[in-house]
Amino acid sequence: MGTAGDGGPPARVELTPAAERLVQQLSRQHGPLMFHQSGGCCDGSSPMCYPRGEFRVGAADVLLGEVAEQTPFWMSASQYAYWKHTHLTVDVVEGRGSGFSLEAPEGVRFLLRSRLLTDEELTALEAQPPPLTGDAVQDGAQR
């Protein structure tokens, strides 16, 4: 997904430098990765990082974009309905999150920070085709 600086549509999701370093480290350890934001119970409000293909993306899940290491970032359709007007920044903070997310053994967890998209960003995104959904992918990556 593009950013305002490269002439493409604005990104819906990006990483802080600390989160990018962690994604690079986890990618070296585990291979290609993926994120999923479900909004479910427990740590469902935190973005979960998995080895790509270890988490089955639902047919209605929405691909928000790719972050470092060509890592797709997915969100459940119900969460996307709430968050589609926001720009999300994935950060990393100290403390254990879910045992299911790859960063948990590192003593840190991923955390979402958000802001409303500007009118200009919304207009640019609405001019684009709709985001891909899970029915267009296999093993967490676009077919």
State the DSSP code for 133: B
State percent of the chain over pLDDT 90. 65
Q: Name all contacts of 76-81 with Cβ < 8 Å and 24+ positions apart.
A: 76/36, 76/37, 76/38, 76/39, 76/40, 77/133, 78/39, 79/37, 79/38, 79/39, 80/131
Tell me the per-residue pLDDT of 50-80, one tens digit each, with 9 for 90 and over.
Answer: 999 888 888 999 999 999 989 999 999 999 9
Tell me the per-residue pLDDT of 86-117, one tens digit each, with 9 for 90 and over.
Answer: 999 999 999 876 668 899 888 899 999 999 99
Q: Residue 64: in which H helix or E strand, if any?
A: strand 62-67
Residue 2 has pLDDT above 50, yes or no: no
Which one, of 134, 132, 12, 14, lies nearest residue 84 by Cα? 12
In order of their start, the domains of the chain are: 10-133 (2.60.300.12)
How confident is the model at residue 77, as a pLDDT?
92
Q: How far is Cα 39 from Cα 58, in angstroms, rounded to an integer?
A: 14
Q: Which SS3 state, helix, strand or coil, does residue 134 take?
A: helix
How confident is the model at residue 106, as a pLDDT?
87
